[in-house]
Chain A
Amino acid sequence: MLVIVHPTVLRLPVPGPAANLNRVTQPSERDTRLRAMVDRYLDFVARVLRNAGTPEAEVDDDVQRTFIAVANRLDDVRPDAEKSFLLQTALRMAAHARRTLARRREVHDSDAQLRIQGPLSPEQMLDQKRSRELLDEVLEQMTVELRTVFVLYELEELSMTEIAAALRIPQGTVASRLRRARADFRDRVRALSGSTHAEVGS
């Protein structure tokens, strides 16, 4: 029987790159597909999770859980439906993360009040980290239905048809939610901008 032993285990000098490449196991079709999915959709999944309400500290874990969930049902996922499957899974993960966060806030309900604290200078407002925090605040104040459609349309640039298919709702409902979501978002940003300017000016 041929036993392949990695040279590192035997503490032998490690040969150069060419020899190493020859020793690499040929990945299975399943592994190749999974790896391609990670390469292609990792940022997408992380962004959806984050924008849909997963706290920053939990994005890593939820990204892994999302891909593991898809890996467990890989045979059921058509290649042309991978993105949609990942999206639906990520949205479920984010919903769970939001619920957990909400429960935590019932205990520490001062959290939400702590984050928007002025006064902010225009430079601070445009600072990317601060922008992220402000965006979180604005999105958190929106209802889940409006937030989801807003995130998918405005931040992920999915079409209304794609959103309707992913959320399994009629296109008319998507259009209506998007209209309300955009108005809601703009109102909140205007309010934020106004109050911030007022604080800066005072």
Chain B
Amino acid sequence: MNDPARLLSTPESELERALLEAGRSYTASNSTRAKTLLALGLTAVAPSVAPAATATLQPLAKAAFYKVAVSVLLIGAVAVPVWRYLGPRASTPIAQRPVAPAAVPVLPAPPTEVALKPAEAQAEIPALDNARVESAEPPASTGARGGSRGTRSETRSSVAPPLTAELAALDAARTSLGHADPAGALAALDGYAREFPRGRLKLEAEVLRIGALAKSGQTDAARKRAEAFLKLHPDSVLASRVRSYAGL
């Protein structure tokens, strides 16, 4: 039986062509890919992917740098007048007060540290593919909530630990699990919990913890945590992984 020619090869109208092309041109976004890989527990980088990812992530690093730079300027703009008004009176005898304090020393320490982050990010980036970075984007609901908080939220996010660090910490746990070292994975997850108490990937961390507990023979603990997870997130795409880890 011969297949007839596709409609798109002989469209009746421009509208028909446009509709058919719209149907054919639909593609998944990079974040869909990232989320899918995360849901499958496949966030570790394949060696062949890393070099390409380096190029892809350059714009992300640039964007992060500009965000940090803007934050430093904003914080500096607030800090300088405040320091001028309060700083010398509070801590320095009148005779020693500078007439006009230099701008650089009065910048608070945190922005200086933050300004160094892009360099760290550059060093980390080659080890991570774009999927993993995008996978860490907050879900749409949280994004919308964050957006409504305006400037305060932006300032806070710019000084928050980089997502790459969170991803790297979880990778350490995943690597240990891959090496049949559940104790190492649990230690890495403890480190993650200490370092990122409000981590954006804590659900993924919890799933890894359930897996590590199960593999270390602590099946009761794994099961309890799995049941709690499933109760809180019954429709999560991570649910099937949790069930398989805990044998539910």
Interface residues, chain A, with chain B CB atoms under 8 Å away: 3-6, 8-9, 13-17, 20-21, 23-25, 27-28, 31-32, 34-35, 38, 42-43, 45-47, 50-51, 59-61, 63-65, 67-68, 71-72, 122, 125-126, 128, 131-132, 134-135, 138-139, 151, 153-155, 157, 159-161, 171, 175, 178, 182, 185-186, 189-190, 192-193, 196
Contact = CB atoms under 8 A, between A and B. Distances in A.
B124 A68 contact: no
Given A6-B188, A8-B165, A134-B19, A190 B37 contact: no
Interface string B29-42: 10111011101111
A5 B23 CA distance: 47
Interface string B128-166: 000000000000000000000000000000000000010
Given A8-B124, A31-B42, A126-B14, 16 more contacts: A4-B172, A8-B168, A14-B124, A17-B126, A27-B44, A28-B178, A43-B26, A51-B23, A63-B32, A63-B36, A64-B36, A64-B39, A68-B241, A125-B18, A189-B12, A190-B12
Given A21-B127, A24-B47, A131 B28 contact: no
Interface in B1-27: 1, 3-4, 6-8, 12-16, 18-27
B184 A3 contact: yes
Contacts of A185: 7
A38 B37 contact: yes
30 contacts: A3-B176, A4-B172, A4-B176, A5-B172, A8-B168, A9-B188, A14-B168, A17-B127, A24-B127, A25-B175, A28-B178, A32-B46, A38-B40, A47-B26, A47-B27, A47-B28, A60-B29, A61-B237, A63-B35, A67-B39, A125-B15, A126-B15, A132-B26, A134-B19, A135-B20, A171-B1, A178-B4, A186-B7, A189-B12, A189-B13
Contacts of A13: 123
Interface in B206-248: 237, 240-241, 244
A9 B172 contact: yes
Contacts of B28: 42-43, 45-47, 59, 63
Contacts of B4: 178
Interface string B184-197: 10011001100100
Contact of A151 (B19, B23, B37, B172): B23
Contact of B50 (A5, A17, A59, A138): A17
B165 to A, nearest CB: 6
Interface residue SS majority, chain A:
helix
Interface residue SS majority, chain B:
helix
Q: How large is the interface on B (under 10, 10 to 19, 20 to 34, 35 or more residues)?
A: 35 or more
A4 B32 contact: no
A178 B15 CA distance: 20
Given A9-B188, A72-B240, A175-B1, A14 B123 contact: yes
Top 7 nearest A-B pairs (CB, nearest first) are A6-B172, A17-B126, A20-B127, A46-B28, A131-B22, A8-B168, A64-B237
A185 B6 CA distance: 13
Given A131-B19, A155-B20, A60 B35 contact: yes
